[in-house]
Structure 1
Amino acid sequence: MTNWQGRRVAVVGLGTSNLAVIRYLLQRGAQVEGRDQKNLAELGDVGAELARLPVKLRLGPGYLEGLTEYDAVFVTPGISRHKPELVELKTSGVPILSEIGVVLEECRATVLGITGTSGKTTTTTLVGKIMEAAGRQTFVGGNIGQPLIEVAASIPPEAMVVLELSSFQLEMLDRSPQGALVTNVTPNHLDMHADMAEYVAAKERIFRFQGPRDVAVFNLDNEYTRKMAEEAPSRRLWFSLEEEPGAGAWLAGEAIYWRGRENQGAEKVVQREEILLPGMHNVANVAAACALTGAFGAPVSAMAQVARTFRGVPHRLQVVGEGTVRGKANVTFINDSIATTPSRTVAAIRAMTRPTVLLLGGYDKHLPFDELAEELMQPESPVTAVVLLGATAEKIGAAMAAAKERGGRALERARPLQVLRAASFAQAVQMAAEVVPPGGVVLLSPACASYDMFRNFEERAHVFEQLAQELLREGA
């Protein structure tokens, strides 16, 4: 455990997790300077708490200058490591640390880490709930929940810690959790990572430093994760919706099964129809959670209990309103604002069973939209209209036109797909309300981040719900 007494430490990026880092360092006698590109007022509640702490602040332009003068630097996930000041810091020999790195160093409990392009939060929550149902004291953190750095050393060895880990958190780690799970990998964050290879390499760090007694779970149905598994130094398990692995969890017929090791008998976990979460992607999330928790002693009864009762987390195919809109009855508004990649939106579309108007577009993360465009062009697609908005509207529209041209007559629909363009988010919701059919769905699943219009995907979701409720009140 590091002795922080009297050491000069810079903390870069003053969000919730690094506020906990600052408190942790102050409690251990460090001299701390907090740094952020925002000013104190823009930091909101975090800024108000910082003003009450004995910490120096360097805010606004120049917040990355002079970092090589410190004994250690904590950098928040999500700041590009390619910034010149951080490149210089990396070559200077000054330790670059993170909240998760300290948690892994100090925690005596077993740690399970979950990463992937899609499904991280849902799967992490499922894993935590299954371990709780199995009778284990469980702490959930990382990219969700509360920062654990202030309590990591006091968590008892017999407890279980479950962490959702992003590529930004992983690329700073030099150790791996005892249990690792990769839900899937598709292109993402290519505005922050140099290329796809760098993004994949960051994800691989969740298992890269494991030993032979540790466990790594991979998606057998995903090309990237199958290849990743070849590099795992630990015991490998799988989950799949398409085939039966030697060890892990899989869908066979209409049920999920689990087996801990090859040549063991399989145990039925749950019927697919009993899973409350909508969509086949969530069946995969349940199978993934079963594979990881089963490897760490959770009984099938605990897996089944959670699968039959868990209704999901906010902003993931969440119904936020139902009623009459513009004279059309039984219209449902669904918030899937967490869908910041095309692959997540494809999964959302496949979960729809009613005519759907899709709100699509936002901040450009330099991701390809080809697969999503082809999904929208399919004759059997439930999407009857698309409302394009944000910085990527033209890019998505071009991808859709190219997909239609490639498919030719094979992609002709009985009812042509209506494509609209909105100048604002509010206008997009109004347009969707105009064209949604009775009994239809207005689906916010943008396939893009929100930063061109909102602070984050949560704010986008909140505004969507507000606008939906206003429309429903007008129609009541």
Structure 2
Amino acid sequence: MKKNFEEFKKYIIGKRVGVVGIGVSNIPLINFLLELGAVVTAFDKKTIEELGDVGTDFVNKGVKLELGENYLDSLTGFDVVFKTPSMRIDSEALIRVKNEGAYITSEMEEFVRYTKGKVYGVTGSDGKTTTTTIISKLLEEQGYKTWVGGNIGTPLFSQIESIKEEDKVVLELSSFQLMTMTQEIDVAVCTNLSPNHLDMHKDMQEYIDAKKNIFLYQNSNGILVLNRENEITYEFKKEAKGNVKLFSSKREIEGGAYFKEGILYLEGKEVCKKSDIVIKGMHNVENYLAAFLAVKEDVSIESMKKVAETFEGVEHRCEFIRELDGVKYYNDSIASSPTRTLAGLKAFDEKVILIAGGYDKHIPFEPLAYEGYPYIKELILLGATKDKIREVFDKLYKEQEIKINIKTVETMEDAVKEARSVARSGDIVTLSPACASFDMYPNFMIRGNTFKTIVNAL
């Protein structure tokens, strides 16, 4: 049962509230808390100069700022603390303030607790953003007012009073957002799970346990959509409290969604042909199957078919940039894990010139080499993981005598230059890094946009 937001409004007036992180989602949160009458202190590693106009604006509105290297030392004496998603709940500062009696929460937890709209939550190691976007497009096509948030879209908590009961809310939820989630999500989707974010999580089990929170608080009316072909997600059905719906790209599923002989089916009914889907690749077939199951109570087969045959995909996901001298360039900067890069490689009908490498999330690169080599014509490596990735390809050569030509470079400009020099008419060049961006770029979008700018300038 959803709580009434009036309760929160009454509760928060005059409360001492600490907000950790002055980022994209917390800026509107801070402004909203001020409107509701809270006394707000905002914490961030950045300096006042780095915050620029945002910092000045907050100071003028009466927000106290705790900034710089030791910014969390002052996280004490609060009634409520909103943490940033990537902040571990067992961090020293949060344990201290919790022991003082503070209520620890996050923008996303409070949003799910109080929103009136039906919530569709999507998580997984790969395919989250595309599946979230497809679900939102399906609901919009059917005529619903649809709100998209979580990891993508806009921060929604500050807009909560505009969301009506008949509206639909689609959230992309990361393991960080789910670690502390104890709220009921009406329709939960788990696309797949493989090792990821092991730089932040203690181990793989903690990562899996975080993901489970998307469905563990459902009631018997909840719907849980799972990938039948992923061992980890398939096991989730044993702990589900609601109705489990399975999708598969490899077998017929009675009462589920499946792909067979070039056609996508939902509960035995044909929805569309794979060849008619605009976004290519078997991973996108799976994304559609998951989305169809998620919205089947709210969206017609006709609307599903229309979206599949018209939706052109999300920026930075196997995104076509341009063709030059017969060479096609693609931006798949979202691919921040080996499994996501593999899915992107398999979407093409031929071997590609692959640009990869980046920040080290401490996940194994063996799948990229041992499963990826049939799809790679040339490999260009950059970033913090370039030597680590080269090592697994060297290992592949020693063990199986399978050799891939590898070049290592220092910058994205060098990578594009190298790709252009080895490419021949008819080739495909794709940036699909298999790593996060943080060694060189603030996020995958800036990495992708940098790549596009360089390619478009050739």
TM-score for both structures, normalised by structure 1: 0.91
State the match for 1:375 in structure 2.
Answer: 371
Which among 426, 429, 432 is matched to residue 445 of structure 1? 432
Shift of 1:45: 5.6
CA shift in 2, pair 1:402/1:126, >3 Å: same
Q: Is residue 422 of structure 1 aligned with residue 402 of structure 2?
A: no
CA distance in 1, matches of 2:93, 2:59: 26
What aligned pairs does 1:141-160 form with structure 2 within 5 A after superposition?
A: 141-160=149-168
What aligned pairs does 1:192-231 form with structure 2 within 5 A after superposition?
A: 192-231=200-239
Q: Is residue 114 of structure 1 aligned with residue 113 of structure 2?
A: no
Gaps of 5+ in 2: 1-6
CA distance in 2, matches of 1:26, 1:50: 10
Q: Is the 8 Å Cα contact of residues 106 and 153 (structure 1) preserved in structure 2?
A: no
Residue type matched to 1:359 in 2? I
Shift of 1:229: 2.0
Shift of 1:111: 0.8
What aligned pairs does 1:297-446 form with structure 2 within 5 A after superposition?
A: 297-323=298-324, 329-377=325-373, 381-408=374-401, 412=402, 416-446=403-433
Secondary structure at 1:451's aligned position in 2?
Answer: coil
Which among 462, 470, 473 is matched to residue 449 of structure 2? 462
CA distance in 2, matches of 1:340, 1:44: 30
Q: Is the 8 Å Cα contact of residues 221 and 243 (structure 2) preserved in structure 1?
A: yes
CA shift in 2, pair 1:252/1:355, >3 Å: closer
Q: Is the 8 Å Cα contact of residues 354 and 439 (structure 1) preserved in structure 2?
A: no
CA distance in 1, matches of 2:22, 2:177: 15
Shift of 1:52: 4.3
Residue type matched to 2:326 in 1? N
Shift of 1:174: 1.3
Shift of 1:92: 4.5
Shift of 1:91: 4.6
Which among 56, 67, 71 is matched to residue 63 of structure 1? 71
Residue type matched to 1:428 in 2? A
Secondary structure at 2:279's aligned position in 1?
Answer: coil
Give aligned-pair identity as a percent. 40
CA distance in 2, matches of 1:217, 1:15: 31
State the match for 2:269 in structure 1.
Answer: 267
Q: Is residue 126 of structure 1 aligned with residue 119 of structure 2?
A: no
Shift of 1:163: 0.8
Q: Is residue 29 of structure 1 aligned with residue 30 of structure 2?
A: no
CA distance in 1, matches of 2:433, 2:370: 16
State the match for 1:262 in structure 2.
Answer: none
Shift of 1:343: 0.5
CA distance in 2, matches of 1:232, 1:359: 40
Residue type matched to 1:271 in 2? K
Shift of 1:48: 5.1
Q: Is the 8 Å Cα contact of residues 228 and 246 (structure 2) preserved in structure 1?
A: yes
Q: Is the 8 Å Cα contact of residues 355 and 437 (structure 1) preserved in structure 2?
A: no
Shift of 1:402: 1.7
Gaps of 5+ in 1: 260-265, 324-328, 472-476
**Alignment deviations for residues 2-40 of structure 1 (CA, whole Å, 9 cap, x no partner):** 211110000001111111211121111100001000112
Q: Is the 8 Å Cα contact of residues 174 and 209 (structure 1) preserved in structure 2?
A: yes
Shift of 1:171: 1.0
Residue type matched to 1:280 in 2? M
Secondary structure at 1:177's aligned position in 2?
Answer: coil
Which among 266, 271, 287 is matched to residue 258 of structure 1? 266
Shift of 1:356: 1.5
Secondary structure at 1:124's aligned position in 2?
Answer: helix
CA distance in 2, matches of 1:245, 1:200: 25
Moved more, 423-432 or 313-322: 423-432
State the match for 2:3 in structure 1.
Answer: none
RMSD: 1.5
CA shift in 2, pair 1:205/1:427, >3 Å: same
Q: Is residue 241 of structure 1 aligned with residue 264 of structure 2?
A: no
Q: Is the 8 Å Cα contact of residues 216 and 241 (structure 2) preserved in structure 1?
A: yes
CA distance in 2, matches of 1:66, 1:272: 56
CA distance in 2, matches of 1:116, 1:195: 16
TM-score for both structures, normalised by structure 2: 0.95
Residue type matched to 2:301 in 1? V
Shift of 1:155: 1.2
CA shift in 2, pair 1:93/1:404, >3 Å: farther
Q: Is the 8 Å Cα contact of residues 326 and 424 (structure 2) preserved in structure 1?
A: no
**Alignment deviations for residues 166-212 of structure 1 (CA, whole Å, 9 cap, x no partner):** 11111121113111000111111110111111111111000010000
Residue type matched to 1:366 in 2? H
State the match for 1:263 in structure 2.
Answer: none
State the match for 1:172 in structure 2.
Answer: 180
**Alignment deviations for residues 86-132 of structure 1 (CA, whole Å, 9 cap, x no partner):** 34345544211111111112111211111111111111110011011
Shift of 1:279: 1.0
CA distance in 2, matches of 1:88, 1:373: 44
Secondary structure at 2:71's aligned position in 1?
Answer: coil
CA distance in 1, matches of 2:171, 2:433: 26
